Amino acid sequence: MKRVAPEFLLKMYDRIVIAVDGSDEAQRAARRGLELAQDFDANVDVLSVVEQKALRLTETSTEKAQLRERGEEALTEIEELASEFGHAITTKLLEGKPAVQICAYADEKDAGLIVVGRQGLTGLGRRLLGGVTEQVLHRSDIPTLVVSGRNHDGEVEADYSRVLITTDGSENADVAIPHGSEIARRYGSTVHVLNVVDLQAAGGAFNAGGLETEFVERLEARGEDAVDSVARKIGDSAPNLTVETAVERTTSFEGAAAGVREYVAKNDIDLVVMGSHGRSNLKRQFLGSVASTVLRTVDVPVLVVKQSD
């Protein structure tokens, strides 16, 4: 795919931390991370964490050694993958709670990006309930790229031809703009900006069908203002990018996330970039957010960016 030189270097991804556990999904995430590292000329740290709980359940030193060997094997796999790219990496085997260790290490290294698989070895699939990935998203304010395990037909390397930035008009959403713009600039992507009008939320779960036309039109007008604002900001920083805007309605009980999912499928989106709350605002579980539902239900990578607290 054509690489486009940026108009200026935005050093947002000068160090990337990739977390792996030996699963196929983690290896695919690592490949994505290494590809980004090459294109952003970033240093790469690859972590594998031997889970504290698993260590406690062992009864012999041999069993403990086997757990550590699995972690080392996971790192060796990524070292071999990195050699294919000709990109040097640093590997680290840690012990403890995986999400805690990943976040602490990324903070210590002042990483610009964390890359993780959506599922990993836990077998939790689309739910992410209690999974390491969700805990990383809870704990860290560092932008996190979540990569699904789906292999797209004919995929050889990452394709970011169509980058989607979602917006609801809030400051939380706006934090995604520089990240989506910079990735698009690096890859010569078309940027799609989407606002979803959630009619269920607007009208109540049992009254969505009875919304007045004028009220819906006002919601759509606000959506148009939101996407136009994002498009202007992208144009100010990257005038050569092609930007397409859209406002879509959804009546799904899954809310705005359903509209995002439908737009991704209809427009062959390659990457979703979306903002989320910082840790101080996360009083409720991440699973209740639009970002979490999108993560569970789309089969393209999702970059979650948090507003600074």
Is 153 within the bounds of a domain?
Answer: no
Between 167 and 209, the higher pLDDT residue: 167
Q: For residue 106, how many other CB atoms are within 10 A of its CB?
A: 25
pLDDT of residue 68: 84
Q: Are residues 16 and 78 in the same domain?
A: yes
Q: Are residues 69 and 179 in the same domain?
A: no
Closest CA to 147 of 38, 277, 304, 3: 304
Q: Are residues 167 and 297 in the same domain?
A: yes
3 state SS of 184: helix
Q: For residue 287, how many other CB atoms are within 10 A of its CB?
A: 17
pLDDT of residue 7: 39
pLDDT of residue 154: 47
Q: Are residues 109 and 175 in the same domain?
A: no
Task: Give the structural domain span for 169.
Answer: 162-306
Give the strand order in the sheet containing 190-198: 90-96, 43-51, 15-19, 113-117, 144-147, 302-306, 271-276, 162-166, 190-198, 242-250
How far is residue 52's CA from residue 58's CA, in Å, rounded to a whole number? 10
pLDDT band at residue 291 using 50, 70 and 90 as cut-offs: confident
Is 154 within the bounds of a domain?
Answer: no
Residue 272 in contact with residue 294, Cβ under 8 Å?
Answer: yes
Q: Final residue of a domain: which of 122, 147, 172?
A: 147
The domain that holds 205 is classified in CATH as 3.40.50.620
| pLDDT at 27 > cutoff 80 | yes
Is 106 within the bounds of a domain?
Answer: yes
Q: Are residues 182 and 301 in the same domain?
A: yes
20 to each of 72, 142, 196, 209, how far by Cα in Å? 10, 17, 34, 46
Least confident of 44-58, 114-128, 161-175: 114-128
Domains held by the chain: number: 2
Q: Are residues 84 and 214 in the same domain?
A: no
Q: Are residues 130 and 184 in the same domain?
A: no
How far is residue 135's CA from residue 128's CA, in Å, rounded to a whole number? 9
Residue appearing with tokens 């805990």: 135
Between 88 and 296, the higher pLDDT residue: 88
Q: Token pair of 171, please?
A: 């400051």
pLDDT of residue 159: 86
Q: Are residues 267 and 171 in the same domain?
A: yes
Is 2 within the bounds of a domain?
Answer: no
Q: Are residues 43 and 171 in the same domain?
A: no
Average pLDDT along the chain:
84
How far is residue 176's CA from residue 289's CA, in Å, rounded to a whole number? 16
Q: Are residues 170 and 129 in the same domain?
A: no
The radius of gyration of the chain from alpha carbons, rounded to an integer in Å, stands at: 20
Is 23 within the bounds of a domain?
Answer: yes
DSSP 61-109: HHHHHHHHHHHHHHHHHHHHHHHHHT---EEEEEEE-HHHHHHHHHHHT
How far is residue 187's CA from residue 108's CA, in Å, rounded to a whole number? 29
pLDDT of residue 4: 42
How far is residue 86's CA from residue 270's CA, in Å, rounded to a whole number? 25
With a pLDDT cut of 90, the percent of the chain lying above it is 55
How far is residue 170's CA from residue 283's CA, in Å, rounded to a whole number? 18
pLDDT (tens digit, 9 = 90+) per residue, 187-196? 999 999 999 9
DSSP 209-224: GG--HHHHHHHHHHHH
Q: Final residue of a domain: which of 117, 147, 177?
A: 147
What interhelical angle do 290-297 and 132-139 show, nearest 10? 150
pLDDT band at residue 150 using 50, 70 and 90 as cut-offs: low
pLDDT of residue 209: 56
Is 4 within the bounds of a domain?
Answer: no
Residue 65 CB contacts under 8 Å (≥ 6 apart), including other chains: none
pLDDT of residue 11: 60
How far is residue 191's CA from residue 163's CA, in Å, rounded to a whole number? 5
pLDDT (tens digit, 9 = 90+) per residue, 237-272? 899 999 999 999 998 888 899 999 999 999 999 999
